[in-house]
Amino acid sequence: MIYKYAYNAKDKPGNPDKIGTGAILNQHSNGRDMYILGNPGGGRSEDDTYNFKLQYKFNDAQSLTYRYTHDKYKYFATDPETFIKDSQGNKMFEGSVLLPNGKYLDFNEYDFTDYDGRRTTDRHALAYKDTANKIDFKLGVTNVKDFGYATGDDLAGQGGGYDTNYPNKTYKADFQKVWEGSKNNIVVGFDIEKGSMDYSQKYLEHWGDKDSANYLYYTMGGTNLVGALFVQDAIKLSDVYSLDLGLRVDYYQKKDGYYNEHGKDNIERPTEKYTELSPKVAFRYMPDDDTTYYASYGHSFNPPTLYQLYRSNSSFEANPDLKPETTDTVEVGLKKQFSPKLYSSLSVYQAKSKDLIDYDYLDNGKKQYMNLSSVKRQGIELMLDYKMDDKFSTFANLTLQNATDDTTGSKLYSIPKQILKAGLKYNYGDVSAYIDGQYVSSRTYDGQISGKLYSDDAFFTADAGINYKFMKNATLSFAVNNIFDRDYWQWYKAAGRSWILGVDFDF
């Protein structure tokens, strides 16, 4: 959607020789009047993915597996549309549009250009599994070599513009060992992740050619290290009582942070380190094989991601000062197998977070992730699973929740109050299919108007799909998303009905 705020209107046109009409009066979610001039056209994408898997079995219990994935993806807009026409009925992409009040809004081709984006990723994963000794060890590298977008002044791509890029790389290692006994089930392990990201924006001589950079406008980035050691013991106290005890030691470090703007001194961010103990305890009472009552407490530690720290775009602004969030959660619940066909669970929880990472709006209209001082969340979750017969089953999940800022008492809008998911599944032989729906309540801020640009509307969507395994290692799939072509806004207008046809081969 191409829009101009009404308050930008002028008494005189910028170019008296190019005056058109056809702007459509609308309203922004903030209540301001705006005029719609057209849209940047239909979105298109191309995605090429290659997978490779190699496995070596030392024996029936031990194996080593290597996986490689290469993915090259790009998206772009085609056939931009303008509602503005001159006196002869010719479409206009630049000039001035005459408004009903006699004023003018200036526009040019830049308003109709959209992002020309791309992402190239290489993933390597090595996994060792020993089922006899209950050992799992994984190593992985994800290298997002080129990840960004370009946009500019004209539809042909020959004018000036800019290119934004945020390549990143992540190394991961995970280890887990299990000891099973008659009274205890002990799990120990560690996980560690090291990441880096560099965000840059370049001015381009020809925005259609990302290699035609005039100069580097600014760069920012940094690295992080996230690691943890953990131990957990599931203790069988008796035939009806059990106790889970766990302790996790988390470590987080962000360093090498920098910000460099063209013509200015480089700003270096200080290194920050955090260590957190995260205990967990859960008590269960099982009066029979079909019923479980439980109560649990857990403390969790969640550091910010590199994207939240160092990536900016048209919607979000980076925040390198983010701190990790911590949460204490208390939950009580019931799990019940009413019959061989019907299973249900009900839980009630309260979570209190310190330095919760969530977004808010800046004065420039962008969102930015921030640390909220203290946030309380309360909720109820209900789940039902019903197996109709050997082929058909249904499910329904309902979540009712409320989140408020403890300091101000205000509602936390990014967390919807109601979420409902329900669906029907079919599985028989080589064919599986599903149809499901999801309702999410509004996350629009007070004072915003639903159904407008930058609102987060309530919505209901339905999806369906079918898979057919026509060979031992090959599956044909077809899926339709947003079957009823629901029209709603999630910051921008959500995608309408789409379908996907695919064939998967597993060698």
Residue at token pair 């939240």:
308
463 vs 436: CA distance, rounded Å: 6
Q: What is the pLDDT of residue 367?
A: 82
Quick one: DSSP state of residue 113?
-
**Of 149 and 412, the one with more pLDDT:** 149
Q: Is the pLDDT of residue 408 over 90?
A: no
Q: Is the pLDDT of residue 341 over 70?
A: yes
Residue 181 burial (C-beta neighbours within 10 Å; 0-12, 13-18, 19+):
exposed
Q: Is the pLDDT of residue 406 over 90?
A: no
Q: Is the pLDDT of residue 24 over 80?
A: yes
274 vs 253: CA distance, rounded Å: 6
Quick one: DSSP state of residue 60?
S
Three-state SS letters, 351-400: EEEEEEEEEEECCCCCEEEEEEEEEEEEEEEEEEEEECCCCEEEEEEEEE
Question: For 122-165, what is each residue's pLDDT tens digit?
Answer: 999 999 999 999 999 999 999 999 999 999 999 999 999 999 99
Structure tokens at 356: 């919760």
Question: For 227-267, what is each residue's pLDDT tens digit?
Answer: 999 999 999 999 999 999 999 999 999 999 999 988 788 89
- Architecture (CATH level 2) of domain 44-78+115-301: Beta Barrel (2.40)
Question: For 102-131, what is each residue's pLDDT tens digit?
Answer: 999 999 999 999 889 999 999 999 999 999
6 vs 105: CA distance, rounded Å: 8
Give the confidence band of 507 by pLDDT, cuts at 50, 70, 90: low
Q: What percent of the chain has pLDDT over 90?
A: 70
DSSP for 229-245? EEEEEEEE-SSSEEEEE
Q: What is the pLDDT of residue 380?
A: 97
Give the confidence band of 316 by pLDDT, cuts at 50, 70, 90: confident
Q: What is the pLDDT of residue 3?
A: 82
468 vs 430: CA distance, rounded Å: 6
**Of 79 and 31, the one with more pLDDT:** 79
As a dihedral over the C-alpha atoms of residue 482, residue 483, residue 489, residue 492, rounded to 10 degrees, the angle is: 60
Question: For 284-305, what is each residue's pLDDT tens digit?
Answer: 999 999 999 999 999 999 999 9
Count CB atoms within 10 A of the CB of residue 59: 8
286 vs 293: CA distance, rounded Å: 6
Q: What is the pLDDT of residue 365?
A: 73
Average pLDDT, the chain: 91
Structure tokens at 233: 């013991």
Quick one: DSSP state of residue 309?
H
As a dihedral over the C-alpha atoms of residue 311, residue 455, residue 442, residue 354, rounded to 10 degrees, the angle is: 30
Q: What is the pLDDT of residue 383?
A: 96
Q: What percent of the chain has pLDDT over 70?
A: 98
Structure tokens at 14: 């910028």
Quick one: DSSP state of residue 491?
S
Question: For 452-505, what is each residue's pLDDT tens digit?
Answer: 777 788 899 999 999 999 888 889 999 999 999 888 877 777 777 888 888 877
